[in-house]
């Protein structure tokens, strides 16, 4: 009995010591857990800070343009167009002319026989600041002549849909005139373009365009300039030598079709527009026209691509109608022994229609038909002295197939049956390459 009391007393005396030990262990465990929690929270905070920094850096890189995919990788953007042709012609291209029409003095007729360089273009373009853009294009012709074809500034921030262009530029009349030659679907320009605009009409002046804020595309334009190129001429006079007005309208039909139609008017006032031709005796004579020339130009372009995707198949129809008139005086055999001046009046027209079909990726085929109508031409007493101006309707049919390994290169084979000269038919075969080096802006519709 005494022993039991002793054991019980000892146990009761030891309980406080055991309880204290247990409290110490619990406290230690809590402290250890708290320390681990603090360490993990610090580690997680550090990782979250690194993640936020990485996301900010990625967003900053993604907002910058890719140097390899933008035209502004260099400032200014620089591009070079290389073009070359092999021509097999039945007739001497030096004798090429458009019978029934006053020579324009421009780029008329096919390129030289055999191998020759085409027109090579060096283009520099860039946004100058948020308000202006500049473009400069130097063209080297196959005869080694070099000319500035485009050199202009263009506004970027005028209000209400207005855009102003000033300098030297291709006129916005018609459809094909404003396109660079390397963007054409055939080796050469349509006959009507050659007869009435000398191949491509450019001038030094000012152009104003207004884009209507409507769902349907509607653009109005006006130009004034020196009018130094055919159908105008150098005047050595203050003021405006040429002016034009134009309107374009277009839109989509469903998701697979798009169209664009235009109407333009150009008026020039040449004073001494000269041209050379053989007279009735076969002598080369120089003649000069002074008066007023005008041109109406209507255009239609229709494009089709399945579901709006032109990468595999697409079709493009393009046609323009030209109606030109001149009224004034014509001096025959300028400076010669038979010099004579009489009235001159003409109303002539021409058109072309073409279709180009991409039947599989990279491959296209195309057909084009050109025709000019001599209309009415009255040179008074000089009419009989100029056999070139006797009534005749030049015409031509062309077909082509081209292959584009990429958007930067194109190789074309073209056959044309050309009847631009009276009683003469010229079968023409062309092989052409067009290469684009550097950053080159996209072409218009």
Residue-wise pLDDT for 316-343, tens only, equals: 999 999 999 999 999 998 778 788 899 9
Dihedral sign computed on CA atoms, order 408, 442, 397, 311? positive
Read off the DSSP letter of residue 38: H
Longest Cα–Cα distance in the chain: 166
pLDDT, average across residues 94-118:
88
* pLDDT surpassing 70 at residue 310: yes
Please tell me whether the overall predicted TM-score, pTM, comes out greater than 0.85 for this model: no
Q: Is the pLDDT of residue 413 over 80?
A: yes
> What is the Cα–Cα distance from 174 to 193, expressed in whole angstroms?
10
Distance CA 423, CA 19 (A): 128
Element (H, E) at 33: helix 2-63
Q: What is the CA radius of gyration of the chain?
A: 37
The predicted pLDDT at position 441 comes to: 74
Q: How many CA atoms within 13 Å lie on the side-chain side of 251?
A: 9
Structure tokens at 348: 């002539």
* Other CB atoms within 10 A of residue 245 CB: 14
Q: Is 185 left (phi over 0), alpha (psi -120 to 50) or beta?
A: alpha
Written as six digits, the tokens of 275 are 């041209």
Q: What does residue 218 show for φ and ψ, rounded to 5 degrees?
A: -145, 120
Asked if 268 contacts 275 with a C-beta cutoff of 8 angstroms, the reply is no
Residue 36 and residue 413: Cα distance in Å, rounded? 79
C-alpha 140/C-alpha 324 separation (Å) is 30
Beta carbons within 8 Å of 188's beta carbon, 6+ residues apart: 110, 111, 194, 416
Does 146 score more than 50 pLDDT? yes
Please enumerate in sequence order all residues whose Cβ is within 8 A of that of 174, keeping only pairs 6 or more positions apart, or say none: 262, 264, 297, 299, 320, 322
pLDDT surpassing 90 at residue 12: no
Residue, of 113 and 16, whose pLDDT is higher: 113
* 441 DSSP assignment: P
263: left (phi over 0), alpha (psi -120 to 50) or beta: beta
Prior bond of 284 cis (ω within 30°): no
Helix, strand, or coil (residue 389): helix
Mean pLDDT of the residues in the chain: 88
pLDDT at residue 4 in the model: 54
Exposure letters 155-175 (e unless 16+ CB within 10 A, then b): eeeeeeeebebebbbbbbbbb
Q: What is the reported pLDDT for 414?
A: 98
- How high is the pLDDT of residue 45? 78
pLDDT band at 10 (very low <50, low <70, confident <90, very high): low
- Percentage of the chain with pLDDT > 90? 66
**Which pLDDT band, with edges at 50, 70 and 90, does 66 fall under?**
very low
What is the pLDDT at residue 3?
46
């Amino acid at each position: 009995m005494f022993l039991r009391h002793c054991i019980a007393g000892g146990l009761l005396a030891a309980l406080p010591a055991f309880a204290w030990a247990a409290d110490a262990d619990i406290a230690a465990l809590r402290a250890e857990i708290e320390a681990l929690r603090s360490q993990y929270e610090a580690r997680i905070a550090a990782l979250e800070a690194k993640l936020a920094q990485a996301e900010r850096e990625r967003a900053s890189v993604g907002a910058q343009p890719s140097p390899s995919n933008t035209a502004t990788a260099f400032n200014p953007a620089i591009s070079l167009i290389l073009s070359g042709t092999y021509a097999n012609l039945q007739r001497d291209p030096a004798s090429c002319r458009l019978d029934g029409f006053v020579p324009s003095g421009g780029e008329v007729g096919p390129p030289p026989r055999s191998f020759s360089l085409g027109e090579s273009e060096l283009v520099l373009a860039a946004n100058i600041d948020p308000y202006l853009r500049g473009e400069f294009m130097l063209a080297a012709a196959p005869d080694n002549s070099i000319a500035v074809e485009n050199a202009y500034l263009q506004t970027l921030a005028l209000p209400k849909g207005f855009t102003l262009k000033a300098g030297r530029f291709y006129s916005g009349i018609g459809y094909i005139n404003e396109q660079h030659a390397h963007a054409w679907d055939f080796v050469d320009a349509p006959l009507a373009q050659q007869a009435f605009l000398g191949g491509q009409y450019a001038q030094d002046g000012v152009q104003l365009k207004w884009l209507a804020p409507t769902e349907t595309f509607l653009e109005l334009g006006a130009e004034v300039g020196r009018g130094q190129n055919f159908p105008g001429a150098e005047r050595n006079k203050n003021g405006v030598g040429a002016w034009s007005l134009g309107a374009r309208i277009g839109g989509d039909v469903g998701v697979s079709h798009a169209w664009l139609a235009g109407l333009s008017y150009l008026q020039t006032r040449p004073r001494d527009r000269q041209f050379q031709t053989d007279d009735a005796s076969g002598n080369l004579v120089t003649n000069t026209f002074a008066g007023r020339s005008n041109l109406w130009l209507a255009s239609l372009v229709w494009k089709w691509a399945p579901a709006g995707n032109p990468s595999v198949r697409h079709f493009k129809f393009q046609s323009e109608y030209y109606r030109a008139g001149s009224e004034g005086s014509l001096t025959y055999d300028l400076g010669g022994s038979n010099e004579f001046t009489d009235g001159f009046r003409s109303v002539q027209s021409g058109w072309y229609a073409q279709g180009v079909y991409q039947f599989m990726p990279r491959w296209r085929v195309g057909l084009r038909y050109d025709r000019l109508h001599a209309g009415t031409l009255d040179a008074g007493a000089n009419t009989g002295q100029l056999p070139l101006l006797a009534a005749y309707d030049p015409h031509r049919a062309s077909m082509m197939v081209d292959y584009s390994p990429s958007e930067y290169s194109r190789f074309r084979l073209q056959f044309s049956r050309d009847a631009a000269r009276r009683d003469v038919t010229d079968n023409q075969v062309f092989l052409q390459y067009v290469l684009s080096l550097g950053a080159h802006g996209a072409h218009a519709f």
